[in-house]
Amino acid sequence: MTDRTRRLVLPFAAFLFGLVALGIAAVLTLTPQGREVAASDVGGPFTLVDHDGRAVTQADFAGEPHLVFFGFTHCPDVCPTKLFEIAQTLDEVKERSGRDIRALFVTVDPERDTPEIMKSYVSSFDDRILGLTGSPEQVAQVVSAYRAFARKVPLDGEDYTMEHTAIVYIMDEQGRFVAGLNTAQAPEDVAQELLARI
């Protein structure tokens, strides 16, 4: 191995090692007491407020499969991209199967995301996406129940942003977690994957 090749390979090997270590650390951090997280450990009872100001619980979405995504309305890129992908998927599912699947957009920023703001935000994507908010305690409980992650990150002055999980959860008709949905595919492929799982 030449010096030049060694200089290229060693940093790449170190990067891969770090990536693997980060993945292991994330699994151990998000997995209680080092045990595997079963599908039944994801989700559960919640009480929130929808974007029309009505109190809702998990029981309001029983009887039909649905998607769940955590985010916030001040999100600069990930959230609008995911919500656009979700809207495309819902259209494709409707076209292929005639089924109207709903999606729940749960804020991780309840301090700013009031029902009115959530309604204005989700209405620009799809009327089958329901914005959910609540008190900081209610939102924290849902984030924890879904084994998600959310953290406030201060910016200049009084401003802040939120780091958060970007998984799209597929939940079955009984509110049980099925799998994460890969929305970064062509809409027809996402729809096919979703329909195969519900």
- pLDDT tens for 70-113 read 999 999 999 999 999 999 999 999 999 999 999 999 999 999 99
Q: What is the CATH number of domain 39-197?
A: 3.40.30.10
What secondary structure, in 3-state letters, does 28-77 show? Answer: HHHCHHHCCCCHHHCCCCCEEEECCCCEEEHHHHCCCCEEEEEECCCCCC
Annotation: binding site for Cu cation: 75, 79, 164
Q: Are 143 and 166 in contact (CB under 8 A)?
A: no
Q: How far is CA 156 from the centre of its chain?
A: 27
Is the pTM above the cut of 0.75? yes
Position 43 scores a pLDDT of 84
Q: What is the pLDDT of residues 103-142, one digit of tens each?
A: 999 999 999 999 999 999 999 999 999 999 999 999 999 9
| Beta-ladder partners of 102 | 66
Annotation: binding site: 75, 79, 164
By residue count, the chain amounts to 198
